[in-house]
Structure 1
């Protein structure tokens, strides 16, 4: 599957198309790439004006195979950047291998040149590693927010679909990519072009970047009980320093016994067991997505010692923490 460079109309007086460079990381999401390119192509179709050209590249100039097995041929390696280019960093939800220094340097150069840069999905991790998000707000996919916050505490991680900070854009990925692209098109070419592009993509209404991507506790668990949902939300927000059942019960206006009954009725477990599972799930995401030391992961997950963490984790997953890592 190749993506040749789209050429600009050579008609006299035509405004040169904006060149969009899509950098594919090894974990890139094909959905993000296709959604972004589809939006640009739809924008070009309005009025027959070639507003955008695009080029798909990789760090080494070789084809990239996505985690789902889709192999994408690229137009080459990292190109020389020019004024007016836009750079899109395409990542995914999987484990991101070490990013080569030349890629990080290329991203830093793009920022120094004042180019618009957008991270799609896990691309936010690359921008953070390059030091481009320090002191900034950034949107990240819900499955990667905790990892980003843990590895880059200087980044204010948001739950929104996408965040625009000057010329830096971060997007949760997935279907939010289309929303972000339509917003970008509207900002550059007006609402008429964006609306026409949305119609062509069969998008009834583009969502605003500030809209929350987080699945509610009702949707996550299927539980329709306000106080139980509030208790679950408190647990998810306090993994590093777990709250006691008594504290949780008090904060949601229940007794400990009432809280235990709700967990038994709706989730067929106890508050303690459910809370421990949440912390272990978080620990597993850190093991899979980061190179943090196991003792640091244990502490970040609310365990006071590596020994205790390893014992509980092995009982939970069937193997010790160090065997969970893919590298």
Structure 2
């Protein structure tokens, strides 16, 4: 792409041979694994090809060393808003991206978008792109942990449960190891299948996943359940959090009686239908308390409770603290 900053090509590369420049905006609390899975394939592509196909730099709000979620610090080399050559900028975020509110960062991202820079978000990074108004009418994804809060904050933006999405000059990724799958796909797009396969092989990643692959482990493995009838009900529960389905509806979904359904749950999960469903709803509530500013009553309604008092009692029994304490501890 044409250099939007009007700067000469760096390192003496002719324009047609210029390496692609990738920027990483690291937000405090970013997941180190997601970032490493995105940057390391660029290094491998250079090494395997014997060419400088990619260069990269780092930026962070405030320009200070930025601390990852595991405590590792990375020193940024580009300030927010700096006139630095870039083709693609990835926002790497974790923790609670819903509370990020740096107007200088949002303005910078919008300026880059106007100049035609491809913008990407990894893990919680898409949340920040959305807060900057840069994901409207775009196909997108983000880490499953952030999806409930994101959908509450941006009800008009459809979230895909995929590993990554490439929609023109917007790229979003659910994070973790899926960032490696995404970068291999981008390397294949830019430099061919052979180099992309070699990069995957370099990292012992022998099965490169397509972007539309599922983010989460199948319920069969996540809960250690193989019974097909029970699995249909569990999926039905996950899909109906705000308006919980009755035990009779769930039993009909499995094609069994309510009594048979209760026996299935106790045999395979060691708890009854009501207990399992309430636990699932309360876990969703805890996510919303941690990642949104929704009033407690709204969280209660979004997770199928009729009142804030009913919700608070159930929440305290489950987590040994009131909802307000969960929010304050974040």
Question: What range describes the TM-score normalised by the shorter chain of this pair?
Answer: over 0.9
What aligned pairs does 1:176-191 form with structure 2 within 5 A after superposition?
A: 176-191=178-193
Query: Could you tell me which of 46, 50, 53 is aligned with 2:52?
Result: 50
Residue 204 of structure 2 corresponds to residue 214 of structure 1: no
Which of the pair is proportionally richer in helix?
Answer: 2
Normalised by the length of structure 1, the TM-score is 0.93
Q: Is the 8 A contact 1:62 1:76 kept in 2?
A: no
1:306 to partner: Cα distance: 1.2
Q: Is the 8 A contact 1:242 1:302 kept in 2?
A: yes
1:216 to partner: Cα distance: 1.3
Q: State the Cα deviation string for residues 76-106 of structure 1 (Å, max 9, x = none).
A: 3214356752101001254653220111111
Distance (Å, rounded) in 2 between the aligned partners of 1:192 and 1:154: 39
1:230 to partner: Cα distance: 0.9
Distance (Å, rounded) in 2 between the aligned partners of 1:173 and 1:42: 19
Distance (Å, rounded) in 2 between the aligned partners of 1:12 and 1:109: 26
Distance (Å, rounded) in 2 between the aligned partners of 1:31 and 1:95: 17
Q: Is the 8 A contact 1:313 1:320 kept in 2?
A: yes
Query: Could you tell me which of 167, 172, 175 is aligned with 1:165?
Result: 167
Equivalenced residue count is 321
Normalised by the length of structure 2, the TM-score is 0.92
Distance (Å, rounded) in 1 between the aligned partners of 2:172 and 2:223: 28
Aligned to 1:157, the other structure's residue is in SS state coil
Q: Is the 8 A contact 1:8 1:53 kept in 2?
A: no
Aligned to 2:99, the other structure's residue is in SS state coil
Q: Is the 8 A contact 1:141 1:172 kept in 2?
A: yes
Aligned to 2:135, the other structure's residue is in SS state coil
1:276 to partner: Cα distance: 0.7
Aligned to 2:130, the other structure's residue is in SS state helix
1:265 to partner: Cα distance: 0.7
Q: Is the 8 A contact 1:124 1:170 kept in 2?
A: yes
Consecutive unaligned residues of structure 1, counting only runs of 5 or more, are 1-6
What residue number does 2:149 align with?
147
Q: State the Cα deviation string for residues 262-302 of structure 1 (Å, max 9, x = none).
A: 01111111101110111111000000111111111111011
Consecutive unaligned residues of structure 2, counting only runs of 5 or more, are 1-8
Please, what is the CA RMSD of the aligned residues? 1.9
1:128 to partner: Cα distance: 1.4
Runs of 4+ aligned residues of structure 1 deviating over 4 Å after TM superposition are 11-14, 81-84, 93-96
Query: Could you tell me which of 225, 228, 232 is aligned with 1:226?
Result: 228
What residue number does 1:3 align with?
none
Query: Could you tell me which of 242, 245, 255 is aligned with 1:243?
Result: 245
What residue number does 1:92 align with?
94
Q: Is the 8 A contact 2:97 2:128 kept in 1?
A: no
